[in-house]
Structures are given as C-alpha cells and as structure tokens.
C-alpha cells in the first residue's frame, strides 16, 4: 500500500541529527523516508537501525558527487507510485504546521495541485558556540525575518522534471501553489506566509557545527561553500520563534523509547 506522505533527502555524516529528524517528521504524518547516503563515514545506519527494521526508512548508498539532483531524480523514478506526496527537504530542515495539525492532513486540501511550495525561515546559532545537549528544535529559537525561499512537496505522478533542489516542472505546465493556494513560479514565492505550512531551516546550528558544515562540499553542486568571514553571525536572527517547540515533549519520549536520548 502506498504511503500518503514521504520524504526524500540526501545526507553525509549527519548521524547525530538523524533520529530526531526522522521521529519528528513521523509526528507530523510522514510515513516513509527515502534517504540517500552520500559517502558517510559515521554510524548513521546504526542510528537509524530501528526505523530501517520497522520498514519506515530506506537508505540507498549514493556515492555520486555532486549527488543531490541525481538522487532526487532517482527517487522520483523509483518511487513515483509509492507515495501520494513526496517532500524534498534536507536533514537540517523540519516541516510542520503551526496550527498543530499533521502536515499529512493539511495536504489533503492541496490535492488538486501538483505541488506545494512551502516557505522556510532560517534559524541561526541562538547564542550557542558549541553543540548544545538539547534537541535541534528546542535549542535554536532565533531566526532571521522569514524570506520567500521555498521547499517543495510534490505529487510525484505529476512531476516532469526536478529543476533545482527547491523546484520542479510539472506535467501539462501546471504550477504549484503556496499555503494560500496561490500559484508559484520559480524558486521564490511572491509573498511570505508561514501560518499553515512551514519548513524551519536550521542552517547553522551552533558556531562549531557551522564550521564543520562549511568544511564539506555542497550536496547540490559539489563545490565548497564560500565563507564570508561573518560566519553564523550573518544568521544570528532577531526574531524569537518557538512555534515548533510544542513537539518537544512528545519527541523526547519517542527518542527515549528508541534509546536515542
């Protein structure tokens, strides 16, 4: 039986964050995870062993460099009939609804359209110079003003091509819509709206983790990231935003049952 909502992501050496990321998205209604391992050298498979055994997570070795766009296209080709919706997000991005409703339930309203473009506010280090002991979603609560960049949740049967890590071309020239059901063209929405659907992007995490991240090449282009000198100060953020933290108690419970906290 096909899932209603799945997630596709590519990662490398993200073991400390994977259990939280997977279990969080299960809370909001994701049923399947199509994950592409881009030459990790950490214990990522051990971390995800319970979800792999349960059949929720599928990991495919993906040594291509750069690997993100080929991985997304492969996911569409292989899993087009396995899920009504597939969200293409990164493992530092958390998709949810501030209304408290499961994302999977809200998506039923968007079935007439081939895709949903979701805005993603960017969170900075929130005062942490090193990795804090808490969850990602409880440790980082300061963000920049929400921009109009987006991530996509798509109907894989209506996707013609994956254009960028953020956008897709759909069959018959159809356009995706934003959370207000307004058509979206390109990699940005005309207006910003995060009241019903959003993707929190924890771009930097702590300053230490930011430096580690920038020591690795980008998944989409294979190029090294450009460090401007400002580092995480660029994304320090002046907007306090704890909307996602309503999930913290339940998420802690789930991770403790898995032995991951």
SS3 229: coil
Going from the N-terminus, what domains does the chain have, and what CATH number goes with each? 3-257 (3.90.550)
pTM as predicted: 0.94
Torsion of the alpha carbons at 165, 171, 174 and 177, rounded to the nearest 10: -40
Predicted pLDDT at 232: 65
| pLDDT tens by residue, 118-154 | 999 999 999 999 999 999 999 999 999 999 999 999 9
Count CA within 13 A, CB hemisphere, residue 100. Answer: 3
Q: Confidence band (pLDDT; 50, 70, 90) for 211? A: confident
Per the document, the length of the chain is: 261
Count CA within 13 A, CB hemisphere, residue 69. Answer: 13
Closest CA to 58 of 22, 84, 32: 32
| pLDDT tens by residue, 157-173 | 999 999 999 999 999 99
Closest CA to 207 of 125, 95, 148, 105: 125
d(C-alpha 161, C-alpha 152), whole Å: 13
């Amino acid at each position: 039986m096909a899932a209603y909502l799945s997630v596709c992501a590519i990662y490398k050496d993200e073991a400390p964050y994977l259990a939280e990321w997977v279990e969080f998205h299960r809370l909001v209604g994701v049923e399947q995870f199509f994950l592409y391992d881009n030459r990790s050298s950490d214990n990522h498979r051990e971390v995800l062993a319970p979800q792999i055994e349960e059949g929720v997570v599928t990991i495919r070795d993906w040594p291509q460099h750069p690997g993100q766009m080929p991985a997304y296209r492969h996911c569409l080709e292989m899993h087009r009939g396995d899920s009504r919706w597939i969200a293409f997000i990164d493992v530092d991005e958390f998709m949810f609804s501030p209304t408290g409703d499961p994302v999977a339930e809200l998506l039923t309203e968007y079935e007439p359209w081939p895709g949903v473009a979701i805005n993603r506010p960017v969170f900075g280090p929130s005062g942490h110079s090193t990795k804090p002991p808490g969850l990602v979603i409880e440790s980082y609560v300061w963000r920049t003003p929400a921009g109009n960049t987006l991530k996509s949740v798509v109907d894989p049967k209506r996707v013609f091509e994956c254009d960028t890590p953020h956008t897709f071309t759909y069959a018959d020239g159809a356009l995706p819509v934003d959370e207000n059901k307004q058509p979206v063209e390109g990699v940005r929405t005309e207006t910003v709206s995060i009241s019903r659907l959003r993707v929190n992007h924890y771009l930097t995490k702590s300053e230490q983790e930011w430096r580690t991240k920038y020591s690795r090449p980008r998944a989409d282009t294979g190029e090294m990231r450009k460090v401007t000198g400002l580092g995480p100060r660029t994304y320090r953020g002046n907007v306090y935003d704890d909307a996602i933290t309503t999930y913290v108690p339940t998420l802690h419970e789930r991770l403790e049952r898995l032995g991951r906290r």
